[in-house]
Amino acid sequence: MPKPSFRSVDEYVASHPAATQTALRRVRTVLQKALPGAEEVISYQIAAYKVAEGPVLYFAGWKQHYSLYPASAEIVAALQEELAPYLINKGTIRFPLDEKVPAALIRRIAVLRLAEVTAKKKTAKKKTAKKKTAKKTATRR
CATH number at residue 136: 3.90.1150.200
SS3 assignment, position 65: strand
pLDDT for res 138:
55
Is residue 63 one of the residues assigned to a domain?
yes
Is residue 51 one of the residues assigned to a domain?
yes
Is residue 111 one of the residues assigned to a domain?
yes
Supply the range of the domain harboring residue 97.
Answer: 9-140
Check residue 56 and report its DSSP letter. E
Query: Based on the number of CB atoms within 10 Å of its own CB, is 94 exposed (0-12), middle (13-18) or buried (19 or more)?
Result: middle
pTM of structure: 0.82
Estimate the share of the chain in helix, then strand, then coil, as percent rounded to the nearest 5. 50, 25, 25
pLDDT for res 4:
74
pLDDT for res 97:
96
Count of domains observed in the chain: 1
Residue 92 sits at the vertex; the CA angle it makes with 71 and 22, to the nearest 5 degrees, is: 105
Is residue 3 one of the residues assigned to a domain?
no
Is residue 27 one of the residues assigned to a domain?
yes
Half-sphere exposure (Cβ direction) of 121: Cα atoms closer than 13 Å: 12
Distance CA 57, CA 63 (A): 20
What is the full per-residue pLDDT of the chain (141 aa) written as tens digits? 556 789 999 999 999 999 999 999 999 999 999 999 999 999 999 999 999 999 999 999 999 999 999 999 999 999 999 999 999 999 999 999 999 999 999 999 999 999 999 997 666 555 554 555 555 555 555
Is residue 4 one of the residues assigned to a domain?
no
Is residue 2 one of the residues assigned to a domain?
no
Output the CA torsion 95→28→39→127 (10° steps): -30
pLDDT for res 133:
52
pLDDT for res 79:
97
Contact between 30 and 110 (Cβ < 8 Å): yes
